[in-house]
Amino acid sequence: MSFEKYSSALLRYPKFGFSLDSSLMDLDASFLDSMQPKIEKAFADMAALESGAIANPDEGRMVGHYWLRNADLAPNDEIRRQITEPLKALKDFADKVHTGAVSPPAGGIFERILLIGIGGSALGPQLVDQAIGQGARLPIVFFDNTDPEGMDHTLAKIGAKGLTKTLVLVISKSGGTPETRNGMIEAKAAYDAAGLDFGKHAVAITGEGSKLSNFAKEHGFITTFPMEDWVGGRTSVMSTVGLVPAALQGIDIDEFLAGAAAMDAETRKTDASNNAAMRLALSWYSAGNGKGEKDMVVLPYKDSLVLFSKYLQQLVMESLGKELDLDGKVVNQGIAVYGNKGSTDQHAYVQQLRDGVPNFFATFIEVRKGRDGDTIEVEPGNTSADYLQGFLRGTRKALYESGRKSLTISIPEVTPFQLGVLIGLFERAVSFYASLVNINAYHQPGVEAGKAAAGVFLDVLSRVRSRVTGDPKNAEQIAYEVDGDEEDVYHCLNHLHGNGEVQISLGKTPKEDTFSL
């Protein structure tokens, strides 16, 4: 480590107080020279993407999340309208909810939001809430899974009386995601049980003509906001998906969009040496030899950014984790992302980072401002914020001394603008990296295999359910009756037992276990 090296590697955007320190990634001149053709191609791919090329060839779609924060860049008037009109409509809607012009049927005003979604249709709003939702006008709670107990806990927190003043946002781009559908059905059941009209409390955000959009029409939802097919789920936080809840929460969405637009403006420039998104992408490439050989550990030193690691996990892993490259060659690409927050992680897994398997590089996120208002000294001469900074600097140094590389991103404070800056940075870094390694970052074919297998399992389960009788039978016998896979049938039976639907009599091995009513 040397000040000289730090000083020459530091990339700064003083206009908004951002910096990226890649000095501890050791990117040397020969690596950068060797990458030049790929860098030029990545800039060209990006320019094509932003001007409306079909950048997601497998799905035949444009990729437009960069237009969401600068509609002037949209490739045509129709798309421009698809951005500006919903933006205006959602602001009007939020105003009406705040003033009571849109109100619950039982009177009063809406006091909280229940957001039902999963993946990109929940993670962005969760990040926004955690990072910049403190003191929000409307608090927000989530159903982001099909776990019945999780939903029960959330409903219990709201309480039957609370439901009367809860506005439900059901978010699904495809409109057919089972977890989200289940959450909506469970929420509707709770409203029905409380004698309330679910539709009069509900808003949908979904693609036109989707199952969800039809459900919303049938059940008289308050309104529906559109989601366009050129916005991917994991990059939807600046579309209606993220902006409707944020505006309802009273978050300054114009600032949020402006932060991303400011980062876009800097990282659209084709000077690689001063482009933070390209620098990130090159650092990832160098760390993992362009094959994702090193994991990315994300360590924001700020409680409010704790979900940023999880958010990046989806953004990076769903975008870059691909079997085939754009030429159809098997490449099994990806970068594993995990993390939580500093300095908390110091007391969890940093031990392994420092001394264990050297299979990662770290990404520190420094927030310069410790807190608003007065502070105290926790000991003579030092504040809590000093400690946070000390632990960040100390961990970064200790890791480098044991041969572990790291990046450090710094922002002045966590505001809507700065959250936009961070999201804009990583979105573009993902786009660049995808070009560097020649993959489509905008589809997710791998997710379908698990969904299809779950469908087969659920089908077997419904048949197994009707085959359990008073006579004890083992999995093999029932599998024969339902024409199903024996192990699948065994798991179905065990699941039914776990939920009190059938009895089990344990044998020496699962093959010998028997089940009855």
* Structural tokens at position 74: 């949209």
Contact 12, 19 (CB under 8 A): yes
Give the whole-angstrom CA distance, residue 517 versus residue 16.
66
For residue 122, the minimal CB distance to ligand F6P (Å) is 8
- With respect to ligand F6P, which residue has the nearer C-beta, 318 or 345? 318
The pair of structure tokens assigned to 491 is: 């798991």
Of 279 and 443, nearer to ligand F6P (C-beta) is 443
**Alpha helices by DSSP H, 166-307:** 178-193, 211-218, 240-249, 253-267, 276-287
* SS3 state of residue 475: helix
| Residue 235 or 474 with smaller CB distance to ligand F6P | 235
Minimum distance between the CB of residue 180 and ligand F6P, rounded to whole angstroms? 5
The CA distance from 125 to 241, in Å, is 8
Q: Report helix angle 486-498 to 445-465, nearest 10.
A: 70
Contact call for residues 175 and 167 (beta carbons, < 8 A): no
Contact 365, 302 (CB under 8 A): yes
Contact residues toward ligand F6P (CB under 6 A) are 118-121, 172-174, 177, 180, 233-234, 318, 444, 447
Question: Residue 319 CB, nearest distance to ligand F6P (Å)?
Answer: 9
Active site positions, annotated = 318, 347, 451
Residue whose structure tokens are 């990040």: 127
Q: Cβ of residue 9: shortest distance to ligand F6P, in angstroms?
A: 35
Q: How far is the CB of 442 from ligand F6P (least distance, A)?
A: 10
Omega cis (within 30) before 51: no
Residue 87 CB, shortest distance to ligand F6P, in Å, is 19
Q: Which residue is nearest to ligand F6P (CB)?
A: 233
Per DSSP, what are the bridge partners of residue 505? 514
State how far the alpha carbon of 424 is from the alpha carbons of 9, 291, 312, 395, 428, in Å: 21, 24, 12, 26, 6
Closest CB to ligand F6P among residues 121, 418: 121
* Strand 406-411, strand 18-21: pairing: antiparallel
Q: Which is nearer to ligand F6P, 204 or 222 (CB)?
A: 204
Q: Which is nearer to ligand F6P, 73 or 312 (CB)?
A: 312
